[in-house]
Amino acid sequence: MELLYRKIIQKELQQLEDKLSSSISSDINLATEVTQHVVNSGGKRIRPVICILVAKMLNYKGSELIKLASSIELLHTATLIHDDVVDQSSTRRGKESIHTKWDNSHSVLVGDFVYSKAFQLMASLDNQEIIRILADSTNRISEGEVLQLSLKKRKVLSKEDYFEIIDRKTAELFKASAITAGSLASCNENEFIALTNFAIALGNNFQIKDDLLDYFGDEELTGKKIGKDFEEGKFTLPLIIALPLMSEEHKFMILETLFDNKESDFKEIVKIIKDTGAVKKVEEICNQFSETCFKELESFPESDYKRALLDIVKNINTRVS
């Protein structure tokens, strides 16, 4: 089913793609080629979409929106490129990752190149508040990466640590997407607070659903190998909630597989997690985040753009890719 935003901001989405393509061009042909490999591989563009919809909902009429949305997508792309090096991921969005197609050196340097392009776009906005927000967000996302790496050797990751990681790594850029749009549209303090709460809840919900799809998704639809996070030794919410609810025998088997790269039947692990009832508990948490999103948008006037944001919230809990 096509989401509402694809119809109402169709023109802006095409402008976004055009701006992304022009922004990553370089006199160094290899830099352009490698960057195009990941930028042109698609992706949901959910962060720039939020940025565009929020600005439009706030009746922004200026000419800076596509530049801002593009800089946000480039920041996100740079984090993905570096993520794939850290995790040694072989695919990204259904295509070979840069470090697989080229090597780690290309990934690190091109990731830096994309960051620099994002900041060039940000600087061209000539809005100190937006530059500060995005710079702070980039710092928090980097800290989230380091935190996740530092906690990787723990026997079991706590729910608190998990939420601290996803708050920094995922929800932070969702928040930045919404509040920079708010800043661009000169929103008031109450609107700024509502946008902050809305976007953090949306980002958390998006990541948790992504983590569920790692166990229960369809590889052809997600473009991501099922069990990829588990294979990389990542504790995500379905597993964190399931572990205390399963037998000691199952817990030992799963933790041994996770830490010692022991071969196991992933379908069996998925069944064990499902049988604990953890999936229902995770979905309840997702629903709570959705309710927060709905509540925070109530104060904004009705418009197609607000309805499109609500449509995204509803879609996240039913998404299959």
pTM of the predicted protein model: 0.91
- Report the CATH fold assignment for 9-316: Farnesyl Diphosphate Synthase (1.10.600)
Over residues 152-173, the mean pLDDT reads: 90
State residue 251's pLDDT score.
93
Cα angle: 282, vertex 285, 286; to 5 degrees: 90
pLDDT band, residue 10 (cuts 50/70/90): very high
Q: Shortest CA distance to 244 belongs to which of 159, 165, 166?
A: 159
Q: Is 312 exposed, middle or buried (0-12, 13-18, 19+ CB in 10 A)?
A: buried
| Domain chopping of the chain, boundaries | 9-316
State residue 92's pLDDT score.
59
Strand residues in the chain grouped as ranges (E): 91-92, 95-96
Which residue bears the tokens 């009705």? 302
123 has a pLDDT exceeding 70: yes
270 has a pLDDT exceeding 80: yes
Average pLDDT across the chain, whole number: 88
Q: Give CA–CA dist 312/317, Å, rounded.
A: 9
Question: What does the block give as tokens for 55?
Answer: 């600005």
Strand 91-92, strand 95-96: pairing: antiparallel
List CB contacts of 161: < 8 A, sequence separation 6 or more. 147, 151, 154
Q: Shortest CA distance to 96 belongs to which of 20, 39, 38, 30?
A: 38
pLDDT band, residue 259 (cuts 50/70/90): confident
Q: Which amino acid is at 131?
A: I
DSSP state of 167: I
Over residues 274-294, the mean pLDDT reads: 96
Q: Give CA–CA dist 107/55, Å, rounded.
A: 33
Q: Is the CB of residue 152 less than 8 Å from the CB of residue 193?
A: no
Q: Is the CB of residue 70 less than 8 Å from the CB of residue 121?
A: yes
Q: Give CA–CA dist 3/316, Å, rounded.
A: 11
